[in-house]
């Protein structure tokens, strides 16, 4: 499967995270060879004390392994284990504040476990292009047809007020905050361009913005589903499904290699994303053992106890 997260390494994306979240992007190219291969390239963000911290709303810390020109599986593994140790040492030297998620293309995180980092596995759905909606479940196609029959239409937009209205409705309903303003989105689109920062809205027949989605896309690389929201009064209309269908078609026309939903770890969300026929892919999250990591452990343990009691 071709997975390339170059879009998360673009200068405009790094600058947006610096402006919005006050973190400094740092490009790292690590190699222990004079020939510069094998090597690993990644981007991390650091706080004022130089500690690594993932900015809010960043699904992954982009990382690319650059091996020598070999097809030997054992040699590739040795190269990865050797070069990833340099990344682990960089993390230990700088310190890690919160969770660091690697993209699904990074499949071996043993060097982090061997050095005492806490590692958890999470999941996303990945749709590789070309894509045919025929692989989606029948319920998806029915919802798409329903929304179209009701007069909903989809389009790319630069009207960030319509995007924010949909995001706020979903965030308030589900009890979280995207912390994105109209100005934030306008700045991000200006830094990346509308061809990379692709903003979509599904409008009802009366002109109301019903559902919205922003995707980060780059030709030849993977597109990342960044933020999305649908207003409550339009949830049963099929507008969300119509918009996703429109987005997938538009991304294929933009020559991206695939679409990453950037997370499928809540049961209801995972169930909805699974119906599109994408492939379930694991990705790994690491934490440095510290007070914050211990607090997360206590919280997870408490949730386990509550769930156990609930099922009795």
The pLDDT tens digits of the residues spanning 281-293 come to 999 999 998 766 6
Burial of 162 (0-12, 13-18, 19+ CB in 10 A): buried
Average pLDDT over residues 285-307: 73
More confident residue, 119 or 307: 119
3-state secondary structure at position 190: helix
Distance of CA 80 to the CA centre of its chain: 24
Q: How many residues does the chain have?
A: 312
Cα–Cα distance, 39 to 80 (Å, whole number): 8
Q: Nearest 5 degrees, angle CA 103-CA 198-CA 4?
A: 25
Cα–Cα distance, 262 to 206 (Å, whole number): 32
- Per-residue confidence band for 299, with pLDDT thresholds at 50, 70 and 90: confident
What pLDDT is stored for residue 311 in this prediction?
66
Residue 248 has pLDDT above 80, yes or no: yes
Residue 140 has pLDDT above 80, yes or no: yes
Mean pLDDT (the chain) is: 94
- Per-residue confidence band for 182, with pLDDT thresholds at 50, 70 and 90: very high
More confident residue, 49 or 311: 49
Strand partners, 285: 101, 120
Q: How many CB atoms lie within 10 A of CB 241?
A: 25
For residue 301, what are the contacts with CB-CB under 8 A and spacing of at least 6? Answer: none
Average pLDDT over residues 249-272: 96
- Per-residue confidence band for 1, with pLDDT thresholds at 50, 70 and 90: confident
Residue 304 has pLDDT above 70, yes or no: no
pLDDT digits (tens, 9 = 90+) for 191-239: 999 999 999 999 999 999 999 999 999 999 999 999 999 999 999 999 9
Average pLDDT over residues 67-94: 96
pLDDT digits (tens, 9 = 90+) for 27-47: 999 998 777 899 999 999 999
More confident residue, 145 or 290: 145
Phi and psi angles of residue 218, each rounded to the nearest 5 degrees, phi first:
-145, 130
Average pLDDT over residues 153-165: 97
**CA torsion angle 42 192 246 182 (round to 10):** 110
H or E stretch at 26: strand 24-30
**CA torsion angle 292 294 297 298 (round to 10):** -100
- DSSP for 192-239, written as a single string: H-TTTEEEEEEE-TTS-EEEEEEEE--TTSEEEEEEEEE-GGGTTTTH
- Per-residue confidence band for 298, with pLDDT thresholds at 50, 70 and 90: confident
Residue 178 has pLDDT above 80, yes or no: yes
Distance of CA 124 to the CA centre of its chain: 8
Cα–Cα distance, 166 to 168 (Å, whole number): 6
Tokens standing for residue 136: 């989606």
What pLDDT is stored for residue 2 in this prediction?
84
Place of tokens 């999250």: 285
Pairing of strands 222-230, 258-260: parallel
- Per-residue confidence band for 146, with pLDDT thresholds at 50, 70 and 90: very high
In percent, the amount of the chain with pLDDT more than 70 equals 94
């Amino acid at each position: 499967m071709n997975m390339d997260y170059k879009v998360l390494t673009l200068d405009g994306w790094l600058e947006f995270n610096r402006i919005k979240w006050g973190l400094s992007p740092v490009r790292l190219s690590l190699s222990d060879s004079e020939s510069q291969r094998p090597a690993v390239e990644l981007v991390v963000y650091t706080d004022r004390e130089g500690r690594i911290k993932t900015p809010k709303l960043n699904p992954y810390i982009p990382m690319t392994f650059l091996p020598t020109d070999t097809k030997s599986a054992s040699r590739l593994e040795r190269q990865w284990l050797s070069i990833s140790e340099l990344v682990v040492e960089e993390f230990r030297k700088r310190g890690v504040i919160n969770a660091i998620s690697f993209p699904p293309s990074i499949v071996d995180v043993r060097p982090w476990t061997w050095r005492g980092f806490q590692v958890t596995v999470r999941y996303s759905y990945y749709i590789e292009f070309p894509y045919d909606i025929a692989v989606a479940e029948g319920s998806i196609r029915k919802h798409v047809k329903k929304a179209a029959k009701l007069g909903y239409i989809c389009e790319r937009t630069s009207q960030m007020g319509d995007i924010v209205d949909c995001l706020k409705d979903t965030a308030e309903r589900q009890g979280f905050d995207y912390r994105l303003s109209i100005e934030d989105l306008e700045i991000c689109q200006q830094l990346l361009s509308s061809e990379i920062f692709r903003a979509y809205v599904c409008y009802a027949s009366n002109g109301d913005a019903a559902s919205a989605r922003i995707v980060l896309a780059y030709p030849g690389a993977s597109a990342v589903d960044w933020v999305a929201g649908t207003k409550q009064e339009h949830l049963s209309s099929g507008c969300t499904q119509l918009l996703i269908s429109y987005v997938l078609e538009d991304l294929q026309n933009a020559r991206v290699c695939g679409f990453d939903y950037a997370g499928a770890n809540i049961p209801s969300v995972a169930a909805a994303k699974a119906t599109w026929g994408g492939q379930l892919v694991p990705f790994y999250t690491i934490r440095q053992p510290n007070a914050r990591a211990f607090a997360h452990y206590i919280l997870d343990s408490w949730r386990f106890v509550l769930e156990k009691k609930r099922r009795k």
